[in-house]
Structures are given as structure tokens and as C-alpha cells.
Structure 1
């Protein structure tokens, strides 16, 4: 995952380095002028006129130019010249303009949502314009630091310590999963059941997908493989009632977590969205998690926003992250919804799930 975005960010770093290292013709021209000015400032030795015996007139040096006035006339040039004298260089907005435009285009091609791509490039610009560095420091290091800050700010929106929140919450903790058809909600529930078990939390599964033929069989297979209790009703039953019964079971049997599946739906399916509203009223879940495929790219980002607008979510899980070479959805969803990505599905096994760690993601994107 993120190989495509890694390549784009690496290319951007190189472009900025190349732009920043190009000689500045104005600064180069200023050096001999400065030397001439210094030479002119030295008074010529006086001599005596051989005819009159009177001293020759001494040419008065022109007054030195005022550095403050020069800086006002051309602050970029003045600052560059001053920094060059101390072995430092400055990154200008002009040097960043072309690389940033190219980066924004490439982010869009990498499935990053438009407003998120603009936010990233704007933040990089804010970090870099006017940034100075010692000549012994690589320009690429300066740019990498700015990119890291920009990415971290964008993708860490809403992040919280999921594990601590579950551990500290009053039991049972009820988590409802929603999203469109076929994105891996049921498999994600099974993976989280294993994840909770490894951390000492018991769980019960609830099949709130009462409309899809074969839904009971699918979740029952996972429950059997994981040795978990499952609560189901007949096909066509009330999803809210199923999850409510699972909460009752958890309370009676000291089970820590209720994992409630729901039918896949589009945000435009009014009857199914009404079901989510009823689940909220009847069950009052502690968390509602949106599930979608990382490979869906900007479609996943758009759906996350639409679901959050229609029935507020608390976070997201992206499945098939191992098959997504771009990673644009992972970069975009948190910023667009204001809700964090909590987990990435990375394979077919029950252990193939990992917490979404913004610092780890940034490291992956910027590693050589």
C-alpha cells in the first residue's frame, strides 16, 4: 500500500531540491557589485600636486547603501545574500510553485480527494516558504520534514486511542458496522472479534443483516471458526431487535463487546437508512464504524462523507489495503469526514488487520 503515493512524494522532494539548487542570477550578479562597492568605499591615498605643492583633492566615497532600504526593495534577494554569507539558503515561493502544482495533480491521480490534495499542498507551502537551511543540510531533508507535518495534520484528524477507549468503557461496548454491499463488513467483524480476544475482551456477534439471503450462514461460519456466540433472527426480521437481543445477552453473560452487522446499503436507500436511525434509538451503540475498500479510492471517500452526513459515523475501517497501491482513500477519508480511520484490513486471515497509525503511515510514505 502507498507505493504510488510514495513515488509521487519522492519525485516532489527531488523537484524542490533541484529548483532550490538552481543558481540565482540576481544573487550572482549582486556579488561583484558588492565587491565593487567595498572597493569604492576605500579612500584613495592623497598625493601632492608637483606644480602647486597643494594636496590633490580626495574623491569622497559614495555613502554605503542602506541595508534596510535594499531589503525593502528586494527582500528575497537581500535575505538570500545575507544567508549566503553565513552558509545558508532560503526556499522561495517561486521555487515551490511548479513542484507543488505537479504534486497536487499527482495526488489527484493517486485517488486523493481534491480538497485534501489542496490542503496538503497548502500546508507544505506554509511550512517551506521562507524556510532556511544550512548548506550542510540536504534540501530534501527540509522538504521531507514539511511533507511529514502536512500529511500528519491531514490524516490524524479525530484520532483516539481505540484500545484504551474500549478498555475504559462501561461494558458491554456496542459497535455497529455499516457501509455498502460487498466491502467486507462481516469479515471485518470477525477480524475484530479475534483482535479483541487477543487483548482479553470477550465478544458476541449479532447479525443485523436480516435482508440478504445467506447472511446468517456467512456470519455463522465466522462465529464457528472463532468459537464465538452469535445472535440471529429469521430473514426479514428487525435488525434493531437482533442487536438489542445481543446486548441483552452480553449483559446477562458478562460479555465485553457486541459486534453488530447491518445490511449493505447506499446512503440514498431511505428505508435502510431509517433502519440505522432505529438502531441508534433502540440500541444507542457506543460506536458506529463505516467499512469500505481502500481500492475504491475516491469512491470510498465520497461514500464515507455521504454516510457520515446521513447517519453519523465514529470512524472507518478500510479493507483490502494490501491490494491498494495508491492509498488515496486512507489519506482522504479522515480529513473529509472529520472522523478517524481506525483499522486497515490487510489480507484474508483473521489476524490480517492493523490499527491505523498516522505516524506509521507517514513513515511508510516517506521512507526511501
Structure 2
């Protein structure tokens, strides 16, 4: 997971650490030269020992100041590495600017671990872009008036239907009753696909025939949930591109007739910057509340995971880590950053 980007971040850490260590050695040479007493015939051994102790004391308390020029090349290389890893350009720039702010002008005592300073700057920069408007999915479900209506949006082939099944399984294990609305009436086989998951999970599904009005399916599902005191309605919608006016109008109609408590955008992490661009465009047309990234276990670059929250100003809610229903991790920014910084 994120192996490619981890190596590039590790290279940056090593480069800056070496630069700081070189500065330390230069400072020590200058300090020793300035303070070492000139040898004279009358010099006493005791005074010589005191002079050496004084030099050690000053070197230990000496401070190295990290300047812009010294880390200019490693920062440029890191920015290129981020872009090569499908991190969005504005996100890469934000990360570099934060690292610059944290490192440049930093005063650090000589012989204090330089790795800590570099790692702290990286943590700060990454946390800033991935921790956006946090939203606790479980708290929303527990606090909202029932039934809670959740609509899932995104393009075909990104794992949206499987993700709905994973969420359904998770909710069921938390003792929430669930019904699934098969509102993707556009794609051939979509109803059968979601019905297959519903049967495996023992969850009721509301469906109409292919080509039916998706808004009617969502409406019937919510009404079914109200009548039977079901906690959560999960609505599957047709995978669509933002440029497909008819399908986008259908999505808007669903949201107008049965307003969701949450709209969740689903895309695959391995799509990288394409996923971020799609999320940005969807968010402009049908503003969503958060995103779920699938196939994170197969993502070597990590670009989408780093960029999507910052690009949309909407938080990542979950990460899909495999094909099993249990392969769904609640998103934790610290978990992501630890994976990126641990070599």
C-alpha cells in the first residue's frame, strides 16, 4: 500500500536530514575554531581541560538555522514526486508550502535528532490536507431521525455497489435495520447485482423494473422504511459521468423527492487524479457529504487518498481494503499518515 510514494517521501526525509547534518558539522568547525585557545608555553593543563569543556557546552547548545536555499532542491524533488504519484497540483503545492513554513528558519540544537524535525513537518503538511471537515458516519446514523436515507453516487466500475453492501453489513452488525433501494435502473444487470448482495446479507431490497424512474424507487424505499420502522435506507444510483445530463437530472430528482441525510461519493483509489477530478465535478453538480475510496489495498501511489478531501472540502469516510464485506476501514487521518511515513 502506497509503496511508490512512501519511497519518495523517505528519499526526501533522508536528503533533508543529510543537509542538516552537514550544516551541523560546519557549525561545529566554526565554533571549535573560534573558541579553541591559542597554545602558549605558559598554558596549564587545567585551563586546557576547562576550555575543552566550554567548547563541548557551546556546541551542544549551538543552534542550526535551516535556510530556504539549503532545502530548495529536496523540496522541488518532493513536489515532482507528489505529482508523479497523482497528487493534485494544488494539493502538492499546499503540502510543499506547509513544509517550507515549518522548516525554513527553524532553529534546532546541534546533535538533536534532525529526523524528528523533518518528520514532524511532513506530518503537519499531510494532516492539513487530509483532515478536512471531519464527519463521523456512526454519529450521524445514531443521531438522525429514522429512517436515515443515504444515497451513493459515482461512476460505474469503481466498486460502488460492493461498497453499499459493505456499509449494509456494517450497519446490520451495529444492530441497525437496513433496506436497499435498487435505484440504478439504467445499467443492465445493476438490479441483479445489488439484489445478489442483499440476499447474501439477508437484507430487504426495493426494486422496480429496468428503465423505471429511479426517484420512484427511492421514494418507495423510504416509505417502506417509515412504515416498518427501519433505521437506514441505502440508495444505489446509476453510475454516471457529470456530463450525462439525463442521469444527473435523475440524481437531482432523487435528492429533491427524498432528500438524503447523506450523499456519499464512491471512487477507486487506484484511479488517482482522475478520481479527484471526478469528485470535484460531481461535488459541483450534486454536492456530497463525504467520500469512500475503494481498492486502497492496491494503490501504490496514494494520490487520491491525499488529494480528494482537500480538493472537495469533504472528508473521506471509509476506505475499501478488499473484496470481503468486512474489508471496510473507517477513515483515520493518522492511520493514513503513518502508512505514508513508515518505511
Q: Same fold (TM over 0.5)?
A: yes
**Structure 1 pair 32/285, CA: closer, same or farther in 2 (3 Å)?**
closer
State whether structure 2 residue 224 is matched by structure 1 residue 222.
no
Q: CA deviation at 1:197?
A: 1.3
Going from structure 1 to structure 2, the CA distance change for 1:215 and 1:131 (only over 3 Å counts) comes to same
**Counterpart position of 1:259:** 234
Question: 1:310, 1:257 → 2: CA distance?
Answer: 25
Paired with 1:135 and 1:246, the residues of 2 have a C-alpha distance of 66
Alignment of 1:144-163 (within 5 A): 144-163=119-138
Q: Note the C-alpha offset of 1:338.
A: 0.3
Deviation at 1:89, TM superposition (A): 2.2
- Do the aligned residues in 1 keep the contact of 2:24 with 2:110 (CA within 8 Å)? no
Indicate the residue corresponding to 1:16 in structure 2: 16
- Which residue, 178, 181, 190 being the options, matches 1:203? 178
Q: Which residue of 1 aligns with 2:264?
A: 289
Cα shift readout 1:229-258 (whole Å, capped 9, x = no counterpart)? 000011111111101111111111111110
1:300 equivalent in structure 2: 275
Q: 1:32 to 1:326 in 2, by over 3 A?
A: closer
How much has 1:87 moved relative to structure 2? 3.4
Aligned residue pairs: how many?
325
Structure with the greater alpha carbon radius of gyration:
1
Q: CA–CA distance in 2 between the matches of 1:96 and 1:84?
A: 23
1:123 maps onto 2:98 in alignment: yes
1:27-86 CA-to-partner distances (Å, cap 9, x unmatched) read 5786588559x99xxxxxxxxxxxxxxxxxxxxxxxxxxxxxxxxxxxxxxxxxx98572
Counterpart in the other structure of 1:100: 75
Give the conservation status (yes or no) of the 8 Å contact 2:31–2:59. Answer: no
Following superposition, the deviation at residue 88 of structure 1 comes to: 3.1
- Contact in 2 for aligned 1:208/1:262 (Cα 8 Å): yes
- Cα distance in 1 between the residues matched to 2:91 and 2:196: 40
Q: Give the CA deviation at 1:4.
A: 1.6
Residue 136 of structure 1 and its aligned partner are, at CA, apart by 3.8
Segments of structure 1 that go 5 or more residues without pairing to the other structure are 40-81
Moved over 6 A (4+): none
Q: Residue in 2 aligned with 1:363?
A: 338
Unaligned 5+ residue runs, structure 2?
39-56
Question: Structure 1 pair 147/100, CA: closer, same or farther in 2 (3 Å)?
Answer: same
RMSD over equivalenced CA pairs, Å: 2.0
